[in-house]
């Protein structure tokens, strides 16, 4: 009996572990940031090098905060769970700020605004109405999945661990459409040179960085660093480099 009680107490202690506060992070000199590393052009691995708009932006924010960065990569679906387990300080991986996610984590002010777009082969379904009776590929755990499920009359939704696998399913003709980020879609259209086309947006979303729920000291510093990057030209420079336009929320 006693043994069980001890184990439970230990478990409670474990789950009650605290996220690192801003003071603790600052003192250590290094911030631990998690991303997926498979979501071009936002976060991706080029060989062994982690790069992309969000990676560059987070590195710039950390620099502004006077910190070194330790990057951690995780499958997309595990990122917010690991945050709850204090495995890193924050997550930047194109998470849309949704009511559902806000139950589990806190989000910074948005670091970009975007939408979920339908991408298909020429002649394929270009909007929600045309998706009736069709099969769609999406990455698992995403707002694309959540929103595609609301489309009436869909035949099937196929989920993939990685967004790039969902795109590959479209290219291979295994689905009628892929729903993904509109900027990713534009890159795919360019790379495939006319073999795919981008249709309508199914929804719009604001993308933010996630901290552990209640980590208000870190949230405040990240928001301040983001505001600074937005006003001093750092953000505009990166955004133009990756997208040829400024993707901040307006
Ligand atoms: N914006 C979408 C969402 O909020 C997709 C994010 C996918 N991110 C990634 N790193 N694969 O769910």
Span from the CA of 142 to the centroid of ligand 1 (angstroms): 5
The ipTM (two decimal places) reads 0.98
Q: Distance between CA 78 and CA 203 in Å, rounded?
A: 24
Local confidence band at 95 (pLDDT 50, 70, 90 cut-offs): very high
Closest ligand 1 atom to 36 CA = 10
Q: What is the pTM of this model?
A: 0.93
Helix (H) or strand (E) holding 244: none
Q: Distance between CA 234 and CA 231 in Å, rounded?
A: 8
pLDDT at 14: 52
pLDDT in tens, 208-219: 999 999 999 999
Whether 230 has a pLDDT exceeding 80, the answer reads yes
Q: Distance between CA 154 and CA 149 in Å, rounded?
A: 8
Binding-site residues, ligand 1, Cβ < 6 A: 36, 39, 43, 76, 93-96, 139, 142-143, 163, 181, 205
Q: Is the dihedral of CA 164, 170, 171, 173 positive or negative?
A: positive
Is the distance from CB of 95 to CB of 80 less than 8 angstroms? yes
Identify which has the larger pLDDT, 20 or 13.
20
Q: Distance between CA 7 and CA 62 in Å, rounded?
A: 39
């Amino acid at each position: 009996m006693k043994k069980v009680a001890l184990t439970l107490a230990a478990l409670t202690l474990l789950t009650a572990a605290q996220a690192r506060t801003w003071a603790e992070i600052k003192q250590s000199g290094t911030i631990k940031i998690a991303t997926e590393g498979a979501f071009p052009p936002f976060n991706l691995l080029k060989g062994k090098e982690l790069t992309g708009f969000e990676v560059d932006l987070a590195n710039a924010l950390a620099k502004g905060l006077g910190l070194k960065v330790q990057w951690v990569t995780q499958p997309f679906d595990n990122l917010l769970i690991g945050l709850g387990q204090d495995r890193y300080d924050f997550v930047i991986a194109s998470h849309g700020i949704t009511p559902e996610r806000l139950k589990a984590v806190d989000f910074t002010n948005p670091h970009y605004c975007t939408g979920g777009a339908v991408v298909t082969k020429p002649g394929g379904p270009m909007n929600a109405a045309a998706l009736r009776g069709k099969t769609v590929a999406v990455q698992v755990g995403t707002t694309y999945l959540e929103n595609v499920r609301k489309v009436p009359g869909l035949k099937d939704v196929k989920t993939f661990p990685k967004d790039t696998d969902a795109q590959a399913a479209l290219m291979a003709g295994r689905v009628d459409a892929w729903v993904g980020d509109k900027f990713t879609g534009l890159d795919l259209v360019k790379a495939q040179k006319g073999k795919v086309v981008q249709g309508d947006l199914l929804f719009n979303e604001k993308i933010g960085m996630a901290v552990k729920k209640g980590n208000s000291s870190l949230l405040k510093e990240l928001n301040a660093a983001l505001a600074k990057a937005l006003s001093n030209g750092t953000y505009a420079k990166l955004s133009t480099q990756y997208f040829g336009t400024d993707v901040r929320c307006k």
